[in-house]
């Protein structure tokens, strides 16, 4: 696959490439380009013919905001999906020329990856397990966080109402959070991944990355 055109390689003061510019570039990838990028990010196999080294300086494995643990690659893609409606109309983000079509293309990418992992009856190798693990993680994060009345917002509202919660109360609030069924194909396919006996361990709550 040819590299995407018009990439921004602007460095930041901390990293070889600015994460803000990377976000902007990723939103403009075509479906094929995004599928290639996500697949290689999930499996940890950079392709320097597709994207320059700067894009593979693992923004997905940098410390989180607390500096305590690496981010999953799924966090990068799902958080961009969730934040994009607000970022795309923000004056602060306007210079990045964010493309809201990214949301549809990420859904398409999740469907492509899930479908490829569900096909056939072969025993999954490590790449398949990582693809399933991160695809399930991405789709669940989108389900939990996306929308004005998302489960995340419901838990936040319950927390504000009580002022504070212990872990047991927080867990109960998360379990009680609901969301209407969605017709989106990525949710159906993610559910099939969780039900597939080959991937139950990779999709189990609290599972470690394969």
DSSP code per residue over 143-159: HHH-STT-HHHHHHHHH
When pLDDT is cut at 50, 70 and 90, the band that residue 58 belongs to is low
The phi and psi torsions of 134 (rounded to 5 degrees) equal -75, -30
Q: Contact, 193 vs 135, CB < 8 A?
A: yes
Question: Residues 138-167: what's their mean pLDDT?
Answer: 77
As given in the structure block, the two tokens for residue 162 are: 């009580």
pLDDT category, 1, cuts 50, 70, 90? confident
Closest of 210, 3, 180 to residue 117, by C-alpha: 210
Q: Could you tell me which residues come within 8 angstroms of residue 108 by beta carbon, excluding any fewer than 6 positions away? A: 31, 34, 35
Contacts of residue 205, defined as CB under 8 A and 6 or more positions apart, other chains included, come to none
Q: Which of 24-38, 61-75, 179-193 has the lowest mean pLDDT?
A: 61-75
Q: What integer is the mean pLDDT of 118-131?
A: 91
Nearest to 137 by CA among 118, 110, 156, 115: 110
Q: What tokens does 139 get?
A: 């789709």
């Amino acid at each position: 696959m040819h590299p995407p055109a018009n990439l921004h390689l602007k460095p930041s003061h901390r990293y070889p490439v600015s994460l803000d510019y990377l976000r902007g570039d990723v939103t403009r990838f075509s479906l094929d380009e995004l599928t290639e990028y996500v697949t290689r990010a999930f499996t940890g196999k950079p392709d320097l013919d597709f994207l320059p080294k700067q894009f593979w300086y693992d923004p997905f494995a940098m410390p989180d905001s607390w500096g305590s643990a690496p981010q999953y690659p799924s966090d990068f893609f799902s958080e961009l999906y969730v934040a994009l409606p607000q970022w795309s109309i923000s004056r602060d983000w306007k210079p990045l020329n964010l493309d809201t079509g990214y949301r549809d293309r990420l859904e398409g990418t999740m469907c492509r990856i899930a479908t490829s992992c569900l096909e056939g009856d072969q025993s999954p190798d490590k790449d398949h397990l990582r693809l399933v693990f991160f695809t399930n993680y991405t789709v669940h994060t989108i389900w939990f966080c996306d929308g004005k009345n998302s489960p995340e917002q419901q838990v936040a509202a319950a927390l504000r109402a009580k002022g504070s919660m212990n872990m047991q109360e927080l867990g109960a609030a998360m379990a009680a959070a609901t969301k209407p069924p969605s017709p989106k194909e990525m949710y159906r396919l993610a559910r099939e991944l969780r039900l597939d006996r080959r991937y139950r361990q990779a999709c189990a709550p609290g599972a470690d990355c394969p």
